[in-house]
Amino acid sequence: MAMHLLCMCSLTRIGNDCKEMSTKFVGVNLDETLSWKLHISHITRNISRTLFAIKQTKRIIPLDSLKTLYTALIHPHISYGILAWGNVNKNTLKPLEILQKRAIRTINRAHFNSHTEPLFKSSAVLKVSDQYIFQVTMFMYDYTHGNFPNSFDRTYLVIFKLDNLTCYISLRVILTIAAACPFTTFHVSGIITQHCITHIDHNLNKV
């Protein structure tokens, strides 16, 4: 697996006298180990405050207006920067997923323990994990169609092509593995499960 190939590499702290263990960059909270716990905690706090306000009005305003409030006030917190933090550990992501389920029940005026799968579908709202996959797919679509600046060139290398399936690997991943494990041999196919992004052109063109 990719984590095994990365040899359980950890980030090295620069400057042991520094008391700051996190920083905020363009609205994204970065902690020193890139666990994303701080950022997700920040997101959940913001959404909790917003959700409290929405709950106060859910019996007053129409359902379509509740959906609009979700799209305007909650969705941006989930989608912003998700390409960076969306592939976080499942346990770290769980509080945000639970909060999103509470939100989807609220905007549908559903019971507190209602099954959320049909609510997501009827509301046309993507779950956090699905939103991440969607954003990655659209990113790779733009990348493969040359919609990014030249600085993005050769960010990813093609592993193989088969009919309408193209598999890529990040060049940075290869360099990271090579730097961390200079005497370790590995098979590229072992990384595919974590870093293979596929796209089907004829389906994406319908989006």
Condensed to tens digits (0 to 9), the pLDDT of residues 90-103 reads 999 999 999 999 99
Within a domain: residue 82? yes
Partners of residue 25 on adjacent β-strands? 28
59, 87: one domain? yes
CA distances from 22 to 40, 77, 88 (A): 13, 19, 17
117, 160: one domain? no
Within a domain: residue 34? yes
Boundaries of domain holding 177: 154-204
118, 181: one domain? no
CA distances from 67 to 33, 78, 123, 127, 201 (A): 36, 15, 7, 14, 30
130, 160: one domain? no
The dihedral over CA atoms of 89, 95, 101, 102, expressed in degrees to the nearest 10, equals -170
> Residue 63: its pLDDT value, please?
94
pLDDT tens for 114-153 read 999 999 999 999 999 999 999 999 998 898 888 989 888 8
67, 114: one domain? yes
Q: What is the pTM of this model?
A: 0.74
58, 115: one domain? yes
